[in-house]
A and B are shown apart, each in its own frame.
Chain A
Amino acid sequence: SQKIEQNSEALNIQEGKTATLTCNYTNYSPAYLQWYRQDPGRGPVFLLLIRENEKEKRKERLKVTFDTTLKQSLFHITASQPADSATYLCALGTYKYIFGTGTRLKVLA
């Protein structure tokens, strides 16, 4: 069955450093992959989408890479800030989406 794994449940980093989150998938060949941010007690908010023919996508301090050979996406937050602390989810699908369990990022001041 299709499966998505996010590398760690929680990640702590120092303010100003680059946070790197990993999303691995199996038994799937997605046309694109999405990343969402979720704050405690709130619904997820869409951040970025990357297509299978795109190696990298950027939006402000965010960067996403997509390696269909490794079946992996990396999500980077550069110059991280305490306000970036949240859970980050990756999702695969075309119209029905499968989500990873998320990585809880904490940026320490």
Chain B
Amino acid sequence: DVKVTQSSRYLVKRTGEKVFLECVQDMDHENMFWYRQDPGLGLRLIYFSYDVKMKEKGDIPEGYSVSREKKERFSLILESASTNQTSMYLCASSRRPTGDFTGELFFGEGSRLTVL
């Protein structure tokens, strides 16, 4: 089975702290994603990576950065956490769509971040 593992299920941080959220997948997927999920707003894409060291901004990249140094690992970084970044963060991976394969997403269990 595909497994996407997020390093922390729950985190509590202070405003201004630097926060790292780590995600590892074990199925050699090319694509990896970071979403945040908020009530009434659904899942919103923060960043997307389609290969090692490659990244694209999603819909809400402000205040975030990402790193993909190895194929299996995709990190989300909050340089200076703010209270409006309190949210559920979801990492996902997929194979690159080719031919008939359409790249459905496999999600991790999520990291609930609270910024005080």
Contact of B41 among A34, A51, A95, A101 (CB under 8 A): A101
Task: Evaluate contact between A44 and B31: CB separation under 8 angstroms.
Answer: no
Chain A residues, CB < 8 A from B58: 96
How far apart sit A70 and B46, CA to CA, in the bound complex (Å)?
A: 30
A96 touching B56, Cβ below 8 Å? yes
Q: Which of A18-39 contact B (CB under 8 A)?
A: 31-32, 34, 36
CB proximity of B5 to chain A, nearest CB, Å? 11
Task: Count B interface residues, CB 8 Å.
Answer: 29
Interface residues on A, range: 20 to 34
B50 touches A99 (CB 8 A): no
Selected from A49, A95, A101, the residue in CB contact (under 8 A) with B42 is: A101
Contacts of A43 in B (CB 8 A): 4, 90, 92, 107-110
CB contacts between A and B, total, < 8 Å: 58
Report whether B43 and A99 are in contact in the complex, using a CB–CB cutoff of 8 Å.
yes
Complex contacts, A41 vs chain B, CB 8 Å: 109-110, 112
Contact A101 B109 (CB under 8 A): no
Could you tell me if B102 and A99 are in contact, using CB atoms closer than 8 angstroms?
A: no
Given A42-B109, A101-B40, also A95-B103 (CB < 8 A)? yes
CB distance from B42 to the nearest CB of A (A): 4
User: Which residue of chain B lies nearest to A97 when distances are taken between CB atoms in the complex?
Assistant: B105
B63 interface residue (CB < 8 Å to A)? no
Contact with A along B32-63 (1 / 0, CB 8 A): 01010000111111001010000010100000
What residues of A have a CB within 8 angstroms of the CB of B35 in the complex?
99
Q: A96 and B45: CB pair below 8 A? A: yes
Residue B106 CB within 8 A of the other chain? yes
Known: A49-B102, A96-B45. 13 other contacts (CB 8 A): A42-B110, A43-B90, A44-B90, A44-B105, A45-B107, A89-B43, A91-B105, A95-B48, A95-B94, A95-B96, A97-B105, A101-B41, A101-B42
15 pairs across A/B with beta carbons < 8 Å? A36-B105, A41-B112, A42-B109, A43-B4, A43-B90, A46-B105, A89-B42, A91-B105, A94-B103, A95-B96, A95-B103, A96-B33, A97-B33, A101-B42, A102-B42
